[in-house]
Structure 1
């Protein structure tokens, strides 16, 4: 290909360190043109994920400027955009990091075939995961369906060292034109909530690396013991950075492994959680309907309720169950939700309110800045009981019992629920600045009564579940 430029197609890999596609492009010695395409997979993102992706794009554009490069922005179908850029720049190759959700796989397969047919070198690289999903197999040669044996299969595998950061990209003799990120209005669907969530998001590779360092030095020792207490800063908070690739799973793995070797007792459990993310992608790769259909065929006829008034109260953080409502309000304020709180909120919707898990899945898909299609799908089906490695159907989280165990002082609930408090916490008030005006909510409102008693909701769920067994 001589000295023709390489188009580096960025999607969810907004970092300079441990970036195999970028490193490979640099190693050729050829000019590199970084590109981000606002294509159909971006267009269909939920409000919060699209806003967060836009924030990552904008931040990384500044990072590239800082090393003397640029980020070219284009909007349209990926193949059309790439063909146009090839014509304009004379590029002879397109490099990108692989993604594994069904829509991305279909797009990338078609793009690679079309480019190769046109004589363009199209090459994809690993980088979003520790292990490519097809490389982890059972003894029989098939995919894993249960987490524990998956963990045992990978925990002793070699994870290659992270690649060093790229400090310079050779520039082309002429840059193609770029569109304007602000004109795309990637945060438009967030409306007023964007300004609130922006105060809590930590955008960019430097912020992600700082998060990781603070976690390893100050929290990894007690991670296993304290990670379920939502009022405590016991977790890494890296999920929003991992989902847009502002830090690689490999960098996180090696930091956790070093902490484990140095005696941090909680580090192994942290590594297990990172591998839980891997397991979710392993499943979505092998079972691409995971986000649409019940994993277990016997659940196909379960009488889930469709969307309903109870589900709307759940969405608004107005169920009358403080732990559930605090979880939902945390999501509107910060764009994320503590993992223990996610399980409780999801269990309440699917079991106490007998609402289809896909109703909840779609709402999280719209509201989480750390939305991950694989983890979201597996998590909802796990809680509902219909999925792989699922919680037993009779496991119904009791929000009161969970609060007594994991939020005994009420700190988490008080942090996000202002109703009835004489001096509400700032985050509790931020909820009313973030939620849709059409909901008509205000801090001086009366906190609602329960939608259903916890005991009655549990019995109703168990009755429905038991009937399915017959």
Structure 2
């Protein structure tokens, strides 16, 4: 019956523009009932990501209201919630945008099978990536394990045009009851850190589009040269919005391609970074174990250290290596971390401290508002040496020489480390405001001595690597 609504199950697609699932639902001519479910899989994400998700839900709900619609909030296992809503509303079916991490894939398969068995239509749609992971294949019909061949395979691959924003969403005759977002307490685990991170977060579809325009107009031209300088505003900072689907990679891709065709320097390098995210999901789909296990089987025997007091000092930004500590404190203050800084912080933990990459992966998941399951897993394994890589070189970044090269004036380090400045700024002091009181940290304390000599740490890592191959 045409008056039976469709349930639109929103997850990491909190936008109206360029939304394949929403466009397909509109084409059905049925009333549409948007819903967000706080299910166990969503409950399990890290503190910072969960807080930021709550902010995104609130912003998206207001955007729906402007189109004459509402966002119904429900808490519980996704299948149970969707079945209950279908009974309450007489819905004909459910639509959603695909996700690709193992937990989401398992949940969505169960949901789809159970809904269809119960007589409801259930359809998933693309929208989180440029290309579905199974669409891009090698000449032999397999999947890509190295980035550069993957880039060469997709750089000329057609990408459909972005879809427009709908002018109005047809509403059901009656709306079911909804939870109150404030009752979910999405930021509870952030404690006092939420107020600090909120100063730097950028939330919602409108903010995402503004960020993209600002990047294209002011920073793209120098992106290739300046993107590795954490003290310079040179990157797009769109990862936060991509995480929650407030903008699509398709919209970003077309904007970057226009700039490339116009001859703007930096455009191709920027497009390569968009495709690096695609490559992460390509690998996650074909080798889902990358999210939790060493991607290379020959790394299973590597003698990683587990969690320890050393790892705790790393988490607190108290290693005594300014570049590493600035990176860790930036994450705690802003909820994000510059990409070059991520490499340095991850290398120090896994190489100089010989700590299991999963210890760092878990902390990033807890603290990043732009946490992405595929990019986080691939990034950590790439640095650790256990992941996909065309080069056999065992990377050990030296924080001191990296600082000389990428933070030559010390601006990034002094911005986030109060103990190294005579007049610390808001970001440096914000770290002590956001840090848990139980850590007992104060900006008036002396900056800690290094945990290990850089040469000593490098030699120890190389010895461990040699022992693995002995």
Q: What TM-score do the two structures reach when normalised by structure 2?
A: 0.99
For residues 32-80 of structure 1, what are the alpha-carbon distances to aligned partners after superposition, in whole Å with 9 as ceiling and x for unaligned?
0000000011111110111111111111011111121100000000010
Deviation at 1:421, TM superposition (A): 2.1
In 1, Cα distance between equivalents of 2:255 and 2:389:
28
In 2, Cα distance between equivalents of 1:54 and 1:392:
42
In 2, Cα distance between equivalents of 1:66 and 1:394:
53
Indicate the SS of the match to 2:355.
coil
Q: What is the match of residue 441 of structure 1? A: 441
C-alpha RMSD of the superposition? 0.9
Q: What is the match of residue 388 of structure 1? A: 388
Q: What is the match of residue 88 of structure 1? A: 88
Is the 8 Å Cα contact of residues 196 and 433 (structure 2) preserved in structure 1?
yes
Indicate the SS of the match to 1:269.
helix
Q: What is the match of residue 330 of structure 1? A: 330
Are residues 1:18 and 2:22 paired?
A: no
Q: What is the match of residue 150 of structure 2? A: 150
In 2, Cα distance between equivalents of 1:116 and 1:319:
54
Are residues 1:401 and 2:382 paired?
A: no
Q: What is the match of residue 97 of structure 1? A: 97
Deviation at 1:390, TM superposition (A): 6.4
In 2, Cα distance between equivalents of 1:33 and 1:292:
36
Indicate the SS of the match to 2:290.
coil
Are residues 1:172 and 2:152 paired?
A: no
In 1, Cα distance between equivalents of 2:52 and 2:29:
33
Structure 1 stretches lacking a partner, 5+ long: none
Q: Superposition pairs for residues 61-460 of structure 1, below 5 Å?
A: 61-389=61-389, 392-460=392-460
In 1, Cα distance between equivalents of 2:256 and 2:51:
29
Q: Go from structure 1 to structure 2 and tell me whether the alpha carbon gap of 1:392 and 1:414 turns closer, same or farther (over 3 Å shift).
A: farther
Deviation at 1:456, TM superposition (A): 0.4
In 2, Cα distance between equivalents of 1:73 and 1:292:
31
Q: What is the match of residue 52 of structure 2? A: 52
In 1, Cα distance between equivalents of 2:15 and 2:34:
12
Is the 8 Å Cα contact of residues 414 and 420 (structure 2) preserved in structure 1?
no
Deviation at 1:392, TM superposition (A): 4.0
Aligned length: 470
Indicate the SS of the match to 1:86.
helix
Deviation at 1:420, TM superposition (A): 4.2
Moved more, 73-82 or 23-32: 23-32
Is the 8 Å Cα contact of residues 2 and 29 (structure 2) preserved in structure 1?
no
